């Protein structure tokens, strides 16, 4: 398949690995920001093929994983109301809140439905004018444009029984928070290609200069990731700290202007809490004043509630790249995909789910991180 098979060629992968080995002369710790990249790295064993002196640290770029428990609790409260049809992508249904998950609400009679697009939820609202329809809008810059467009359409069409529970987060402030942590070991970043496809690359050169770390935009196939790693190591060995685009077939400097215009119209920047990390200033979006009537938190007057994370779950440390999943005592025993304690075991992009799915049940070697 175009852009899949040719970017998984074993012979080319071996050549890139040889070039990485020839370039790296000392230990380097790199972070892949995106959870999709984490899964590709673990699935293909890239971290185990790299030379021992290169460590891959898994970042917080899993949208389900970083959705805070407080928002999940609000979703549970809204979804349990008898006049509500609550719509979500399927990966949010098993994410634990303080008291169960959306599957529990559904089993107790709540009208919880899986949709494949926020526009599906808008159509449900138009077809059910006597009920409130709420869409759970989470994620990074990649999913935000579709949610913004749906809210724009709801206002344009006058669909007054539609609203969105928003928990959108932004990548650049998270990178800044990681670099400013006193426990940070990251020396270079692989940036998420799909985020940059939307937003462009303009936000990253200042970050690379400020924190003196190379940042390389890359894709998700094995050769994409290996080329991103190679370029990052080349920069580190040369003492450079620049932003490079190793994913030009999808990413341009300007991104998607139409999507960015829609985002700036519908959303405004706000502080956001990240699950397991805490509040990061200016790291998320909320609906702007023009669209505030479509804000489910405002419409249903759900306030802040006391949340209770599992005392044995260390997913917050996993999200910050401080530990790997196998360093959590609950991993694979008390915490599994069917009975998760934390969101990193639920999501298809979570590091814990990747380690479990691909049978990384114990830590092997210094490079397996």
Per-residue confidence (pLDDT) for residue 276, from 0 to 100: 79
Q: What is the pLDDT of residues 146-184, one digit of tens each?
A: 999 999 999 999 999 999 999 999 999 999 999 999 989
Record: fold of 29-324: Rossmann fold (3.40.50)
What are the sequence ranges of the domains in the chain?
29-324, 325-357
In sequence order, which residues have a C-beta less than 8 Å from that of residue 197 and are 6 or more positions away? 142, 250, 251, 255, 256
Question: What Å distances lie between residue 92 and 67, 194, 323, CA to CA?
Answer: 9, 20, 24
Q: Can you say how many angstroms the Cα of residue 192 is from the centroid of all Cα atoms in its chain?
A: 10
Per-residue confidence (pLDDT) for residue 98, from 0 to 100: 87
Q: Is residue 357 predicted with pLDDT exceeding 50? A: yes
Neighbours of 270 (CB within 10 A): 14
Per-residue confidence (pLDDT) for residue 369, from 0 to 100: 34
Q: What is the pTM of this model?
A: 0.90
Q: Is residue 250 predicted with pLDDT exceeding 80? A: yes
Read off the pLDDT band of 306 (50, 70, 90): low
β-strand pairing of 28-34 with 188-192: parallel
Q: Is residue 368 predicted with pLDDT exceeding 70? A: no
Per-residue confidence (pLDDT) for residue 305, from 0 to 100: 64
Q: What is the pLDDT of residues 110-134, one digit of tens each?
A: 999 999 999 999 999 999 999 999 9
């Amino acid at each position: 398949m175009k852009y899949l098979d040719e970017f998984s060629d074993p012979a080319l992968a071996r050549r890139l690995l040889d070039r990485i080995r020839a370039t790296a002369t000392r230990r380097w710790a790199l972070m892949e920001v995106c959870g999709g990249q984490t899964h590709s790295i673990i699935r293909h064993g890239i971290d185990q093929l790299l030379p021992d002196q290169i460590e891959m640290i898994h970042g917080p770029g899993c949208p389900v994983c970083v959705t805070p428990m407080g928002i999940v609790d609000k979703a549970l409260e809204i979804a349990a109301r008898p006049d509500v049809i609550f719509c979500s992508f399927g990966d949010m249904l098993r994410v634990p809140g303080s008291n169960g998950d959306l599957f529990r609400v559904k089993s107790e009679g709540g009208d919880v439905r899986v949709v494949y697009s926020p526009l599906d939820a808008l159509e449900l609202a138009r077809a059910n004018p006597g009920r409130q329809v709420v869409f759970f809008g989470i994620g990074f810059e990649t999913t935000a444009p579709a949610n913004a467009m749906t809210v724009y359409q709801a206002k344009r069409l006058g669909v007054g029984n539609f609203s969105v529970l928003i928990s959108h987060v932004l990548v650049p402030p998270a990178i800044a928070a990681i670099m400013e942590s006193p426990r940070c070991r990251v020396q270079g970043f692989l940036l998420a290609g799909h985020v940059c496809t939307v937003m462009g690359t303009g936000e990253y050169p200042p970050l690379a200069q400020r924190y003196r770390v190379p940042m390389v935009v890359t894709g998700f196939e094995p050769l994409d990731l290996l080329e991103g790693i190679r370029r990052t190591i080349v920069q580190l060995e040369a003492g450079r700290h620049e932003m490079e685009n190793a994913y030009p077939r999808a990413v341009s400097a300007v991104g998607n202007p139409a999507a960015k215009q829609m985002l700036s119209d519908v959303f405004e920047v706000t502080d956001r809490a990240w699950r397991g990390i805490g509040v990061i200033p200016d790291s998320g979006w909320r609906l702007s004043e023009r669209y505030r009537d479509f804000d489910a938190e405002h419409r249903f007057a759900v306030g802040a509630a006391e949340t209770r994370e599992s005392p044995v779950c260390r997913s917050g440390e996993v999200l910050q790249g401080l530990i790997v999943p196998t360093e959590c005592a609950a991993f694979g025993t008390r915490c599994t995909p069917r009975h998760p304690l934390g969101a990193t075991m639920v999501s298809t992009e979570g590091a814990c789910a990747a380690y479990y799915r691909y049978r990384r049940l114990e830590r092997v070697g210094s490079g397996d991180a």
